[in-house]
Amino acid sequence: MRVLAAMSGGVDSAVAAARAVEAGHDVTGVHLALSKNPQTYRTGARGCCTIEDSRDARRAADVIGIPFYVWDMAERFHQDVVEDFYAEYASGRTPNPCLRCNEKIKFAAVLDRAMALGFDAVATGHYARKGPDGLLRRAVDPGKDQSYVLGVLTPAQLAHSMFPLGDTPKDLVRAEAEERGLAVARKPDSHDICFIADGDTSGFLKNRLGSEEGDIVDSGTGEVLGSHDGAHQFTVGQRHGLGLRRPAADGKPRYVLSITPVDNRVEVGPRDALRVDRIRTAAPVWLDEERTGPFEAEVQLRAHGQVHPATVAADADGLTARLHRPAYGVAAGQALVVYDPDAEAGDAVLASGTIDSTERTEVPASFGEAAGV
């Protein structure tokens, strides 16, 4: 097959490209230029997509012995990922930009261009697997599993995707990179949002969305406990950086419970008030056969978060998940990814949806009998 290897400049994508070559494919490497002005990314930035990353990707391609190109995706990335990031926070939601980048850039814009150029598949360094049935499954290394952020892929996109690292723990990938003579073998992983090089998300949002003083209030009493200069700087479940004028009467910490952009209001309260057991999403993306009636599954609410057994129902407008045990600090804008825990060869991703709302139900209802749940 003709394979386009997306090379970020890190160790994972370099080894993935090398494995694709070793498997007998005709491989071409490509690095995505996602910044309109790469010179604004400081040397040693903690995210990805820096000038250094581009150079590292080129060196890796040279060692592997494959053609290498840089594709300018800056405008598309800015519109589909960065602008979405701003808009979601301005609406009081908490987006996942890595998930959105996978959906809109790596497996939409890049895959579309690759197919138009005659490639058969795109290979990436994501830690996930494709089963014999073509379904997306968790990686062997649970600590690195990235099936959650790939849950937004459509079946057609998944069919033309390759994940060569899904069956290998990360430490063995680094060891393999050293054996192959790849200089990125010990390069640190990126953990920050790639377009916020200094890691200051609050400052990044303030520069674009501005500052406006508002109240931080107690959710139970309505008492004003503090002030802030922009509700967009907070997320549901946040504990630190609230700047409250005095501690709670019970001495326990307070958490952000809700954000209301229309009146720039942030409500805080005890951790127990974050507990939810019913989650509703927007229209789902199905990676497996679409289901309607209630079915048992497992759901994941964060990229490396806890997995929750749940009863899930679906309709044309979204998914509804009734958790068997409560979750805490679930924010609208994040993704809910549904897994089949009984699937052969590991958990398979069934569907995903962007979280719209959450609810705490005091008395568990008979899920299957409740219309619309």
The residues that are catalytic are: 101, 194
3-state secondary structure of 227: strand
User: Token pair for residue 180?
Assistant: 């192959």
The rounded distance, in Å, linking the Cα atoms of 18 and 34 is 23
The rounded distance, in Å, linking the Cα atoms of 56 and 219 is 50
User: Token pair for residue 188?
Assistant: 């640190």
40 contact partners, CB below 8 Å, separation of at least 6: none
Reported as half-sphere exposure (CB side, CA atoms, 13 A), residue 31 has a value of 25
The rounded distance, in Å, linking the Cα atoms of 339 and 137 is 9
The rounded distance, in Å, linking the Cα atoms of 140 and 14 is 19
H-helix segments, the chain:
11-22, 51-64, 74-77, 83-90, 97-101, 110-116, 155-159, 170-179, 201-209
Phi-psi domain of 317 (left: phi exceeds 0; alpha: psi -120 through 50; beta: other): alpha
